Structure 1
Amino acid sequence: MVTTGQLHLIPVGLGDSPIENWLPAQTQQLAQSLTLYIAENAKTARAFLKQVGTNTPIQEITIHTLDKHGTSAQQIREWLAPLKEGQHIGLVSEAGCPAVADPGAVVVAAAHAMNIEVVPHVGPSSILLSLMASGLDGQQFAFHGYPPVNAAERSKTLKDWEANSRKHHQTQLFIETPYRNEALFSALLSTLHPTTRLCIARALTTADQWICTRTVAQWAKASPPEFNKQPTIFLFLA
């Protein structure tokens, strides 16, 4: 009798940092043993496998690339078919935890529909790490992804998020493409109320990690953060 395999949700790093700093040894051993992966980005997945080390040569490991716009439900079911034959599969994101602010959620949903066991593993989540370190409300919060790029739309959206934050005492979390971090920071200072608390969480888990929470008024009087085009989480609480 064939035992059904498991879909393992394996976090990858948020930046340049030793793997032992963010991935438990047991999960490293599991990742080393797998020969079939589903990834948001194959290049990133290969870099992760090179860092973790593999029992099988990387060129012999199958990596299916998940396109959030182009991969069909049928294709995902075909990728997951080896699970029914007892093979384990790893799901990895481009950074952080798979299926959290990540297209891998559709793979997890398909696994549940196929009655496949899903196993999440401990690892870095920039959303939770920044919330932990912000000092803002960790009971009520919302992650929005990216704000609009258009300045007028972005300003309106930020005001709407601030209104929700004030009404529900809800921390608002969002990200931006790193090269637009400075523009977003300027928009936050010009849009949000001076008493709103704003947290900047940059390059989490790396040597360049920097986390600071101040009121908007305090940020306006201080030197602007050094973003250096690095991944950053923005959080505020009105």
Structure 2
Amino acid sequence: MTEIERGILYLVATPIGNLADFSFRAVEILKRVDLIACEDTRHSRLLLDHYGIDRPLVAFHEHNEETATPQLLERLRQGQAVALIADAGTPLVNDPGFPLVRSARAAGIRVTPIPGPCALIAALSASGLPTHRFAFEGFPPRRSAARRARFEALRDEPRTLIFYEASHRIMDTLQDLAAIFPPERPIVIARELTKRFETITASTVGEAGALLERQPEQRRGEFVLVLGGAPEASPGDGLCPDQERVLRLLLEECSLRTAVALTARITGVSREAAYRTALRWCGQGGAG
């Protein structure tokens, strides 16, 4: 039997789809806390009933977390054990809870994570893309102009990038990715993770939209997009061999300015690195 301590805020991860992914420790903690704060009490009640967890629930979501936080802190100060859960996955990972955790720690209240499912980690681990360095970007902006601006700011990021996206925006998001990132940049589309119709599909930024266009059933559900990072620059001149080759070929046909811009667009290297390399070559007597 799992024992709990009083006056502690437990952050409890819940399944992202398959109910069997709920850990034994998580279930035992939730059975013994005094109160469970959750995004949607009706949604969470279905999960809790499945595991025979009968504890009081209180709504805690993005629209009320500022006002609900002081109430939960008071319960914790009184020595009650409080659990925070999200609708699915690990609390605070693209879910409410940050003000509560920050305030609890500032007040000297112990915060304990009960780890478990997390959609971004599940998708990353199965993507086949580099996992040693990655950046989670949550949901991209809803509007295309803002979305493209966000993608433009991330175009030269060397770390693997992870996004969440909803079914009704997935095609628009893939289109905007294709407008900003080099077409050969690898992308993995993870859909409905741990659920019956789970699919994890490897593609490229240039082909992903057409792939889903041909398969309407692949446009339904919840998505995690795992995008390969920009090629790492070599220490010598800032460009990897493939980027150098593209720049040399373009310099033979285009002006320096155009060659640099196209190299950056095609390969994902920064314009500054391509420009510095081109100038160095010119100073050495040409690009050849």
Q: TM-score, normalised by structure 2?
A: 0.69
Q: TM-score, normalised by structure 1?
A: 0.82
**In structure 2, C-alpha distance between the alignment counterparts of 1:67 and 1:28, rounded to whole Å:** 22
Gaps of 5+ in 2: 231-288
Pairs within 5 Å for 1:1-238: 4-15=6-17, 17=18, 19-20=19-20, 22-54=21-53, 56=54, 61-72=55-66, 75-163=68-156, 165=157, 169-219=158-208, 222=211, 224=213, 226-237=217-228, 238=230
**In structure 1, C-alpha distance between the alignment counterparts of 2:57 and 2:109, rounded to whole Å:** 19
**In structure 2, C-alpha distance between the alignment counterparts of 1:9 and 1:153, rounded to whole Å:** 32
**In structure 1, C-alpha distance between the alignment counterparts of 2:166 and 2:212, rounded to whole Å:** 21
- Indicate how the Cα distance of structure 1 residues 29 and 4 shifts in structure 2: closer, same or farther if over 3 A, else same: closer
**In structure 2, C-alpha distance between the alignment counterparts of 1:8 and 1:185, rounded to whole Å:** 37
The count of aligned residue pairs is 223
- Indicate how the Cα distance of structure 1 residues 197 and 122 shifts in structure 2: closer, same or farther if over 3 A, else same: same
Shift of 1:4: 4.0
1:82-110: CA deviation from partner (whole Å, max 9, x where unpaired): 33333211100122100122211221112
- Indicate how the Cα distance of structure 1 residues 132 and 87 shifts in structure 2: closer, same or farther if over 3 A, else same: same
8 Å Cα contact 2:44-2:87 kept in structure 1:
yes
**In structure 2, C-alpha distance between the alignment counterparts of 1:208 and 1:101, rounded to whole Å:** 23
State the secondary structure of the residue aligned to 1:123: coil
- Indicate how the Cα distance of structure 1 residues 135 and 86 shifts in structure 2: closer, same or farther if over 3 A, else same: same
Q: Report the aligned-residue RMSD.
A: 2.3
- Indicate how the Cα distance of structure 1 residues 148 and 128 shifts in structure 2: closer, same or farther if over 3 A, else same: same
Q: In percent, how many aligned pairs have the same letter?
A: 26
8 Å Cα contact 1:148-1:154 kept in structure 2:
yes
Gaps of 5+ in 1: none
State the secondary structure of the residue aligned to 2:218: coil
Task: Specify which structure has the higher proportion of helix.
Answer: 2
8 Å Cα contact 1:28-1:52 kept in structure 2:
yes
- Indicate how the Cα distance of structure 1 residues 231 and 222 shifts in structure 2: closer, same or farther if over 3 A, else same: closer
Pick which of 214-223 and 79-88 moved more. 214-223
**In structure 2, C-alpha distance between the alignment counterparts of 1:72 and 1:186, rounded to whole Å:** 36
